[in-house]
Copies of this chain bind each other. A is one copy, B any other.
Amino acid sequence: MLITSLENKKIKKYASLKNNKIRKKEGLFLVEGMHLLKEAYDSGILVDILLLDGEELSFSYPGEITYVTGDILKKISNLTNYSSVIGVCKIKKNSEIMGNHLLILDDVGDPGNVGTIIRSSKAFDVDTIIFSTNSVDIYNDKVLRSTQGMLFHMNILYADLEIVLPELKEKGYEILGTDVHHGEDVRDVKVDKYALVMGNEGHGVRESIKALCDKNLYIKMNKDCESLNVAVATSILLYELNRGKNE
């Protein structure tokens, strides 16, 4: 199929998916570029492809492709230099908590940080990421780009942390917070079943959530440096907690 009109009903619907509320209502989100498209296809969530007329996919795709004009891609894209392909994907239903290695994000706010954390979580064998209900939407285009497709390989859910954390304690997960002044050096901590809690860039973890932590960790660093970027800190903690396990 070839669509050339910016007023086409399907095109208008897809363009509206740049809005978080409409994504939630429709249960759909967009991915841009061949790499993310392929990752989405491999994960079985791809429902439509908009491809610049005259271009080809880099992989074999059995479904029908919607060919479109550059103006249409420009209208739907979030990028200044729009990609030659945009995929429409379905949002997965909230899943269940799985595995022994959990990461809990309490209102981490920056989409780039969230995407980077999802990417590192896959790298260092996190089984499930739990976002607080007020967290950034993971189908935001900046989050998606920063994950480099790892979002589609990660078990993710949103939950009320004040309800979930006590349940995790009951199930034997050690709840790990962070404390730059009074924490334990992460190099000395050995734990098999954990939920690592990381907080917002500006104000950290909420007090009500902090109170639920069994242990606080810190990363040894130069005394002139107060803290690390939250995506870096999360990645180093996950790397270190996983360090002995993948020799």
Interface residues, chain A, with chain B CB atoms under 8 Å away: 112, 116, 119-120, 122-125, 146, 148, 150, 153, 187, 219-222, 224-229, 231-232, 235-236, 239, 243, 246
Q: Are A219 and B243 in contact, with the CB atoms below 8 A?
A: no
Smallest beta-carbon distance A104→chain B, Å: 19
Query: Given A222-B125, A246-B220, are A120 and B235 also a contact pair (CB < 8 Å)?
Result: no
11 pairs, CB–CB < 8 Å, chain A vs chain B: A116-B231, A116-B232, A119-B232, A123-B222, A123-B225, A153-B224, A219-B239, A220-B246, A228-B235, A235-B235, A236-B239
A221 is contacted by which of B123, B220, B231, B232 (Cβ under 8 Å)?
Answer: B123
A229 is contacted by which of B146, B153, B221, B226 (Cβ under 8 Å)?
Answer: B146
Complex interface: chain B residues within 8 A of A219 (CB): 123, 239
Smallest beta-carbon distance A226→chain B, Å: 8
Count of this chain's copies in the oligomeric assembly: 2
Given A123-B222, A125-B222, A236-B239; 7 other pairs, CB 8 A cutoff: A116-B231, A119-B232, A120-B229, A123-B225, A148-B226, A153-B225, A229-B235
A119 is contacted by which of B119, B123, B148, B229 (Cβ under 8 Å)?
Answer: B229
